[in-house]
Amino acid sequence: MWQVSVRSLCRASCRAWQRRLPGPGPAPAAPRSRSPAWSPGTAPAQGLSSMAPSVRLSPAARSLFDEPLAIAVQGLGPRQQVTLRTSLRDETGELFQASARYQAGDDGQLDLARCPALPGGSFCGLEPMGLLWALQPQKPFWRLVKRDVQSPFLLELEVLEGHGERPGRLLAQAQHERAFLRDGVRRVPVREGRIRATLFLPPGNGPFPGIIDLYGTGGGLPEYRACLLANHGFAVLALAFYSYEDLPKGMKEFHLEYFEEAVNYMLQHTQVKGPGIGLLGHSKGGDLCISMASFLKGITATALINGSVANVGAVLRYKDITIPPLGINPKRIKVGKSGIADIIDVLNNPLEGPDQQSLIPLEKAECCFLFIVGQDDHNWKSEFFAVEGSKRLQAHGKEKPEIVCYPGAGHYIEPPFFPMCAASMHLLFGKPVMWGGEPKAHCEAQIDAWQQIQAFFRKHLTGKPSGTSSKL
């Protein structure tokens, strides 16, 4: 019953989102200085007449990456069969593509918000955003990330004739920019003391509710989630903690004093609303957030995306306290015929024997917790960690955390419309590993989780009530 409830709530949220999807506006006239084949937002194929098929997008030329994009085609023949294909290249030049088969209506119109995709493509059924969330890399084990948030991704959409295995004649095409920085959001590199970070501030004078954002074992300084979150009114510090500039190159041990500097930086910033801040962490970033909340002052709310309540992967030190990493057993790695490793059973049980020393004393935290859980996470047992964290908090008289579970969602629960990454290289294991997830369910989870995270932080950092209902 529990899983059914979660699934129905997630689907209800996504249906509500589909009702909010804007209808494609009228096709704007192409600028004279551009070839009609590459006009932003809408274009017939080059050389065709003005009555040729054309693509209508809303917004027409540019949208934020976490916002829906309405797609329609006009000028087709009655009940004409076409294939729609999207393409996107990341900043390394790697190509991501998705395609779907459609049939126009009797009036020659095709609106993806009303017309279901037919079997035979990357997805089928009524999926207005399927051509974005179903994008898959042509290079195996490659994940879509955004390295420079100041430039958009360029999405190309083609309308091809027929449903053949090989692409048919090009009927129309369009380009659209998927941006990360909303107009007016300020990006501020931070190099104060030991801190290596980027602060994103919403437009206006503030102060704004403040959040520190941590990613996982990939290292570096990913900014795209922090940037997208700042678009919604939060002051967000994307914080690097290893493998960036002069920070340690490897993940051997972490000193919580470094993270304490970042917390104090946010608490003292004139644009950050007090008295406390929020923490958002995914994977290894999740257990670091729990450690910060457990030992540091000034934390009001902590949200974890597939995080652990045990310290994982590196020794953690704070003053005279040392927490060893949870033990692993590489013999429990399962490698299939594809060569992809399943590492879900590699970690030891933190409730048994000496591995209990790796448990983070989250009962010391003076904040509220939100656990976002992908129930098909194959990196580790996220649901187990969330449930054990809840038990431990309640056993010590603390408030029960919010736990939102998503059936069919894998490890990399990203902001909305990032395509699901089923498998990629794991830096610690040195081989491709499966992350889990089913594309459609994972997409729905990302849409809902993004709303849950924002509502959680608004409630606890600003005192405004939550506007969502998918909380268990």
Catalytic center residues? 283, 377, 411
Look-up of token digits 């017939």? 44
Q: Which of 386, 135, 87, 91 is nearest to 223 (CA)?
A: 91
Q: Which two tokens stand for residue 311?
A: 């310290």
Q: Which two tokens stand for residue 238?
A: 């994307």
Burial (CB < 10 A; 0-12, 13-18, 19+), residue 419, is buried
Cα angle for residues 21, 26, 31 (degrees, 5° grid):
120
Residue type, 305: I
Instruction: Name 110's bridge partners.
Output: 73
CA separation (Å) from 365 to 186, 302, 403? 31, 10, 17
2-20 vs 439-462: helix crossing angle, rounded to 10:
80
Contact of 355 with 326, CB cutoff 8 Å: yes
Compute the Cα dihedral for 391, 393, 396, 400 and give only its sign. negative
Q: What is the C-alpha R_g of the chain? A: 23
Cα angle for residues 178, 467, 387 (degrees, 5° grid):
95
Helix ranges restricted to H, 204-329: 224-230, 256-268, 284-295
Q: Which of 347, 400, 407 is nearest to 373 (CA)?
A: 407
Instruction: Name 81's bridge partners.
Output: 103
Burial (CB < 10 A; 0-12, 13-18, 19+), residue 252, is exposed
256-268 vs 284-295: helix crossing angle, rounded to 10:
70
- The span from the CA of 310 to the CA of 152, in Å, is 37
- The span from the CA of 195 to the CA of 438, in Å, is 37
